[in-house]
Amino acid sequence: MTDILDTVQRQANTTITGITLQSRTQHLTRLDAAIPGSQRIDPSPSVGATNSTLSDSISPADDTPAANAPVTARTAKTSANHLNRREKQWILYDVGNSAFVLLSTAVVPIYANSLLEAAGESNIVSTWGYMQTIASLIIALLMPILGSIADVQGMKIKFFIGFFGTGVLACCAMALPLGWVAFLAVCMLATIGLNGSLTFYDSMLIDTTTNDRMDQVSSHGYGWGYVGSTIPFIACIALIFAGPSAFGWSTAACTRASFIITALWWAAFTIPLISSYRQTHYRETADHMRDAVHGTFAELGYTFREISRNKPLWMFMVAFFFYIDAVNTVISMSTSYGTQLGIDSTQLVLALLATQFVAFPCAIAYGRLARRFGCKPMIMAAIIAYLDIVCFAAFFLRSATEFWILAILVGMFQGGIQALSRSYYGKIIPKSHANEYYGFYDIFGKTASIIGTFLVATTTSLTGNASIGVLSIAILLAVALVFLLLQKDPTKGSTEAATVD
C-alpha cells in the first residue's frame, strides 16, 4: 500500500510541474531535477484537503506559468473539445460585457438619435462616430502605460476591476434622464470602462490556458458572449416594446431601464472571474509603486524596440491595425448607418439579434477550423469575407431585407476574426510582459477605430452619402491582406509559438 501511495504522489508531482513525458527512457535524475522547480503547488497538501481541492489545483490553467510548455500528461486529460473550470470562468466575462456591447450597438444609437432629434440635431452617424473616436483615443493613450504597470505581480486584476467598475457605473448612469450631450458623455465613459477592462481581460487569456488551447478558448469566449448577451437583450427589448402598456411608462423610460438591466447582467457575470483569477505571468513586484511607475516608461521603450526587431510580430500588428479597423467600424456604426438609410428600428434590432445567434456557432467553429487549418489562414479567410461584406453594404444595402443579409454575413465572421486575432497575438508575445504588449495591441486596435469611425463620419458629412464612407473600408482590408501575405507565420509547424520570456 505504501508503494502504491508513493507512486501516486510521484505521479501527482510530475503532473503539477508540467513535465512532458516525451520519452519513456528519460533519465531518472533529469526527472528529479525538474520536480523541485515547481513553486506554485505545495507538494504536501494538508490532511483535510479534499479531492476537489486537489483537482482544482492541477487544472490545466495552473500549468501555464511554468512554462508555457508543451501539453503535459495532465493537460492531455482535458479533451480538446471541453473546457476546464478556470477557462469557463474567464469566458463568463465575455458573456457579461457582451450584453453592453450588444445594447450599445442596437439600442443606444437609436435612443441617442431620439435625443439628437429632440434637440434639433440630425446627423447621428457623424455625431456617434465622433463620440466613438474620442473614447477610442483615450483608451489608446492610456493602455500601454497602465498595461506596463499591470505586468507587476497582482496589479492586473486591480486595473481590470477599476475599468470594469467604471463601465458598470456609467452604464447605470445612462439610465438618468439626461440631455444628448450629457448622455453621450456618460456613454463615452461606459465605453472607456468597457474597452479598458477588455485590454486586461484579453491578457488574462495567457494566465488561463495553454498556447495550444488559446484558439479554442478565445473562440468560445466570443461565441458564448454572443449568445449569452441575447438573454438580457431580449428582456430589454421586451421591456421597451411592452413596458408602456404594461407599466404605463414612456418608451424613453423603458429604454433607460434597460441600461440598468444590462449593467446588472454585466456585473453578475464578472464575479466568477474576479474571485478565481490568478496572475501567473508577471514581472517581480517593485519595492514601491513609485518605482513601478518610474520604470514603466523605460519598459515601454524596451517593448517598442523589441516589437520593431520582431518582423513577424510588427507585420501582424500593422495588418491587425487595418483589418480590425473595418471590423470595429462595421460593429459600432451598423445601426446608425441603417437608421440613416431609413430602415425601421424594429427591423434593425431584430436583425442584430439574429447576428448574435449566427455568431455563436460560427465563432466556436472558427476555433476548431483554426486547429485544423491554422490560425493565420482562418484570419485571412475572414478578411476576404469582410471585403465582400463591405462591398455588399455599399452597393446593395437599401432595405430591411438587405440589412438582414448583412447581419447574418457579419455574424458568420465577426466572432471568428476577433477571437483568433486575440489568441494568435497571445501566442507570439512574451508572457511575462503580456499586459504591456496587449497595451500596444490595444493602441493598434483602438487607433484603427479612430481612423475608421472618423473616416466614415467625415466622408458621410462631406458627401451626404453614407455608402461612400462604408466603401472606403475595403481599402483598409486590402492593405491588411497584403501584410499578412508577406508576414512569416511564427507559429507555423508548431502548436505553440517559440516565444521566450
- DSSP class per residue in 35-85: GGG--SS-SS--TT--HHHHHHHTSGGGGHHHHSPSP-HHHHTS-TT---H
- Judge whether 71 lies within some domain: no
Residue-wise pLDDT for 148-180, tens only, equals 777 777 778 898 999 999 999 999 999 999 988
Confirm if 292 and 149 have CB atoms less than 8 A apart. Answer: yes
The answer on 125 and 41 residing in a single domain is no
Looking at residue 330, its pLDDT comes to 82
More confidently predicted of 264 and 130: 264
Looking at residue 331, its pLDDT comes to 74
- Judge whether 22 lies within some domain: yes
Looking at residue 289, its pLDDT comes to 52
- Judge whether 169 lies within some domain: yes
Q: Give the C-alpha separation, 405 to 334, whole Å.
A: 13
The answer on 363 and 433 residing in a single domain is yes
- Judge whether 78 lies within some domain: no
The answer on 107 and 221 residing in a single domain is yes
Identify the band that residue 261 occupies on the pLDDT scale cut at 50, 70 and 90.
very high
The answer on 98 and 169 residing in a single domain is yes
The predicted model gives 382-406 an average pLDDT of 88
Name the residue among 264, 179, 210, 169 with its Cα closest to residue 83.
210
- Is pTM, for the whole model, over 0.85? no
The predicted model gives 313-320 an average pLDDT of 91
The answer on 445 and 374 residing in a single domain is yes
The predicted model gives 251-262 an average pLDDT of 95
The total domain count for the chain is 2
The predicted model gives 240-267 an average pLDDT of 93
Residue-wise pLDDT for 414-428, tens only, equals 889 988 998 898 888
Looking at residue 34, its pLDDT comes to 38
The answer on 237 and 339 residing in a single domain is yes
The answer on 307 and 228 residing in a single domain is yes
* Amino acid at residue number 322: F
Identify the band that residue 323 occupies on the pLDDT scale cut at 50, 70 and 90.
very high
pLDDT > 90: what percent of the chain? 27
Query: In this model, does residue 202 exceed pLDDT 60?
Result: yes
Q: Give the C-alpha separation, 16 to 185, whole Å.
A: 49
- Judge whether 63 lies within some domain: no
Confirm if 411 and 357 have CB atoms less than 8 A apart. Answer: yes
Looking at residue 9, its pLDDT comes to 43
The answer on 121 and 19 residing in a single domain is no
Q: Give the C-alpha separation, 1 to 312, whole Å.
A: 55
CA distances from 356 to 79, 233, 334, 362, 470 (A): 27, 10, 14, 10, 22
The predicted model gives 359-387 an average pLDDT of 92
Identify the band that residue 489 occupies on the pLDDT scale cut at 50, 70 and 90.
confident
Looking at residue 234, its pLDDT comes to 92
More confidently predicted of 61 and 246: 246
The predicted model gives 455-474 an average pLDDT of 78
Can you read off the three cell numbers belonging to residue 11?
505521479
Name the 3-class secondary structure at 269.
Answer: coil
The predicted model gives 308-317 an average pLDDT of 88
The answer on 97 and 24 residing in a single domain is no
Chain centroid, CA 444 distance in Å: 14
Give the domain CATH number at 119.
1.20.1250.20
478's CB contacts (< 8 A; 6+ apart) are 387
Confirm if 419 and 482 have CB atoms less than 8 A apart. Answer: no
More confidently predicted of 143 and 402: 402
Looking at residue 274, its pLDDT comes to 93
Residue-wise pLDDT for 440-454, tens only, equals 777 777 666 667 777
Looking at residue 486, its pLDDT comes to 92
Confirm if 495 and 212 have CB atoms less than 8 A apart. Answer: yes
Name the 3-class secondary structure at 283.
Answer: strand
Give me the residue label for grid cell 456613454. Answer: 187
- Judge whether 52 lies within some domain: no
Confirm if 427 and 376 have CB atoms less than 8 A apart. Answer: no
The answer on 31 and 92 residing in a single domain is no
Q: Helices in 151-288 by DSSP H: which ranges?
A: 156-173, 180-203, 205-208, 214-247, 251-268, 271-276
Residue 152 pairs in a beta bridge with: 283
More confidently predicted of 193 and 131: 193
Least confidently predicted of 208-217, 277-286, 467-476 = 277-286
- Judge whether 54 lies within some domain: no
Residue-wise pLDDT for 15-72, tens only, equals 334 433 344 334 333 334 333 333 333 333 333 333 333 233 333 334 443 334 444 4
The answer on 174 and 37 residing in a single domain is no
- Judge whether 65 lies within some domain: no
Q: What angle do CA 223, 175, 264 make, to 5 degrees?
A: 45
Average pLDDT taken over every residue of the chain: 77
The predicted model gives 483-498 an average pLDDT of 71
Can you point out the beta strands (E) in 381-492? none
* Amino acid at residue number 365: A
The residue range of the domain holding 16 is: 1-45
The predicted model gives 381-387 an average pLDDT of 95
The answer on 305 and 207 residing in a single domain is yes
Least confidently predicted of 21-25, 108-112, 453-457, 470-474 = 21-25
Name the 3-class secondary structure at 152.
Answer: strand
Q: Mark 190-217 as b/e (b = at least 16 C-beta within 10 Å).
A: bbbbbbbbbbbbbbbbbbbbbbbbbbbb
Q: Give the C-alpha separation, 418 to 51, whole Å.
A: 37
Half-sphere exposure of 49 (CA within 13 A, CB side): 13
Q: Give the C-alpha separation, 232 to 134, whole Å.
A: 28
Residue-wise pLDDT for 284-301, tens only, equals 655 445 555 555 566 667
Name the residue among 2, 206, 191 with its Cα closest to residue 97.
191
